[in-house]
A and B are shown apart, each in its own frame.
Chain A
């Protein structure tokens, strides 16, 4: 404990001295921040400095081992670091799928060589990753995927297509599920492979979302040579690796949505006070008030559940299928909050673009539209409910699968 307090004092002093003043009080969230990569798009020069100084200490990936560029912090130390960052309301120095998806997966399944090659550039924000799982014919039934990888000496030749690949057009590498044994049972013929998107034969085509943004793409592979040494977790063992990564993804998605300050009690209340107005100090409309409380309570209960899962894991009492619970509840919670924010605004929430609407209101409306995807991406809600029914509740398999 004393050590943690020393650590806190040191972190606080370092942050007080170095954290760029212009970024204090601008926390951001998973979709708004510094993604890094070969073609980085820093919002301001201070964002670039912030990334560099944090990466130097490994604090973009605080709990990863030092030998791979990480911060080497214990969970407790990381909690201290995060609370100090929150204290200054600093944005994350770096966000992206390298940190939350492929990184943890390589730590679990990667060879020593793979870890040394890929982890440090992630920590430094030099390589941006995307996730090549879904295909046009393979969404929920992911294991039916078709993208073909045919062995050719120390390489594989890839042919086929991925779809819904978030940020593929801005990414440098893709982690991909490919079919390496078309004769085997569907789960057993899959490998997990890393591909540099600069390789000839890889092309991307953006797809526009209902929110107007186009964060995801189709990715086409035409005779793309990938290296056999970039297969992670062994040939034809990709399904195991893929599922482990999905668990990281679901936990992350659930937690982050709920933790986001956007759409929280304070923000909703602020919107309601402006749109509806108080009467005798209380929010005038009791129905809106009730919905804000419901949302606030959902959020509190959810955060307590996140904490309980962590505390239980530390005490060796795991409640099981945590990631699916967090995914289902966290994403729906996020949707309800964003919906409520738009609803409270009335006609002010209906703007698409341009003058005549408050820019914050425009952003909230776009965010609401984007949030409808939360219960689809990373495995749909229905698929999570299947997992809970089967693996936690032990309900029998039926025909409807």
Chain B
């Protein structure tokens, strides 16, 4: 495992940097929010991402993918994170995409994956029912009840489903009413009995509550069980850590710029040692986050990686980035002074996003606890 970028990875990173810079950074999210855009992200940009092949980065060529890995996708996610891009890249590729790719249903894979890679299918995973991530696998009251011929009917309710309204494919976690086994089911966005209500959250990324009121599915819509859910969540956690890394880097750079520019007492405030030391400490923590994220992405790309190894790598990346992102964002607002509290300034968007990221796939304490469980204590 090499923790340096290859030439090809550098090229991907560079084009991701350019792409998002050209799109106008946080201004884009702000205007989506201010115009009350119903989609909540840019379909045009989505098509562009597909055109660049980025929706297919972590999928093998035999399924129409680019044949690279989570490592390369994370480079793109990091840059998306920098500008707080609300496109459901992570949900589509690492939540839904991982479940399709690693699941056991060939039928579902060939039905959905090519469209997902081509940009025609926005995908997501509806797993969360409680406010906090609790057990591992997460507790699940949603039920899959046999309806004859191997078919099932899904009943239940899920919250905080990323792009839940926009998704063409909602993969749902539900417990079998008889075997009590957890299953992941591929539900088409237009399925009868699937009700989706948008949630307006502080970060203004698209999100929804999803109700399943008797959604009928055939047998081959079942992708896998608890192990599949765990690996999809771990891969997505790593992607989220990469996104957070980009976002906190951007918030940090904004703050450094302000430290150099803002003058008080006749000098730049960045010349005050009390502030310099706080900035230097954030920088060190950021560098440690970067190492943890790079290592986690490469771990996910290792062939036949064990669930425990992947879990520890993901939890390390998560625990570090979630905490650090919050700290960077808090400090960023503080060091901006009054202007940092205004809606007009971008820095507040980062703070709100940090809060959402911190309880998306479990908070930092949850990830530390899981690390201990995986290590046998």
Interface residues of A (CB under 8 A from B): 265, 269, 273, 278, 281-283, 286, 289-290, 292-294, 296-298, 300-302, 304-305, 307-308, 311-312, 314-315, 317, 319, 325, 328-329, 382, 384-386, 388-390, 392-401
Contacts and interface: CB of A to CB of B under 8 A. Distances in A.
B223 interface: no
Given A329-B288, A386-B280, A400-B271, 8 more contacts: A296-B375, A300-B316, A311-B2, A311-B4, A389-B276, A393-B256, A396-B260, A397-B271
Interface stretch (B96-104, B166-174, B291-299): B291-299
B252 to A, nearest CB: 9
Contacts of A298: 288
B377 A385 contact: no
A236 to B, nearest CB: 30
Nearest to B315: A297
A311 B320 CA distance: 21
A108 B295 CA distance: 33
Given A269-B377, A311-B2, A305 B288 contact: yes
Contact of B290 (A283, A308, A396): A308
A314 B365 CA distance: 35
A307 B270 contact: no
B284 interface: yes
Interface string B170-211: 000000000000000000000000000000000000000000
A382 B272 contact: no
B304 to A, nearest CB: 21
Contacts of B290: 305, 308
Contacts of A307: 3, 291
11 contacts: A278-B377, A290-B369, A293-B372, A304-B3, A304-B292, A305-B290, A392-B283, A395-B260, A395-B276, A396-B270, A398-B268
A308 B3 contact: yes
Interface in B277-310: 277, 279-281, 283-284, 287-292, 294-295
A197 B29 CA distance: 68
Interface string B365-377: 1001101110111
Interface string B312-354: 0000100110000000000000000000000000000000000
B248 interface: no
A304 B271 contact: no
Given A307-B3, A389-B276, A297 B372 contact: no
Contacts of A328: 280, 284
Contacts, number: 133
Nearest to A312: B4
Contacts of A389: 273, 276-277, 279-280
A396 B267 contact: yes
Given A311-B3, A312-B4, A304 B295 contact: yes
B80 interface: no
A278 B376 CA distance: 11
* A interface, over-half SS: helix
Given A307-B3, A328-B284, A382-B277, A396 B268 contact: yes
A401 B272 CA distance: 10
B267 A385 contact: no
Main secondary structure on B side of the interface with A? helix
B271 A395 contact: yes
Nearest to B371: A293
A311 B279 CA distance: 25
Given A293-B372, A393-B256, A396-B268, A305 B287 contact: yes
Which of A283, A297, A300 is the most central at the interface, judged by chain B CB atoms within 10 Å of its CB? A297
A301 B292 contact: yes
B369 A293 contact: yes
B5 interface: yes
Contact of A297 (B260, B277, B280, B368): B368
Contacts of B256: 393-395
- Among B365, B371, B376, chain A packs the most CB atoms within 10 A around the CB of B371
Contacts of B279: 389, 393, 395
A325 B270 contact: no
Contacts of A297: 316, 319-320, 368, 371
List the 8 closest A-B pairs by CB distance, nearest first: A398-B271, A389-B276, A304-B291, A308-B3, A388-B280, A311-B4, A315-B4, A385-B280
A167 B2 CA distance: 39
Contacts of B295: 304
A344 to B, nearest CB: 13
Contacts of A325: 283-284, 287
A328 B291 CA distance: 16
A389 B269 CA distance: 13
A273 B377 CA distance: 9
B271 A396 contact: yes
B288 A302 contact: yes
Contacts of A317: 4-5
A323 B149 CA distance: 65
A270 to B, nearest CB: 10
B233 interface: no
B259 interface: yes
A328 B280 CA distance: 10
B273 A400 contact: yes
Nearest to B373: A282
A268 B168 CA distance: 49
A321 to B, nearest CB: 9
Contacts of B289: 301
A160 B150 CA distance: 91
A61 B376 CA distance: 39
Contact of B273 (A265, A269, A282, A386): A386
A314 B4 CA distance: 9
Contacts of A304: 3, 288, 291-292, 294-295
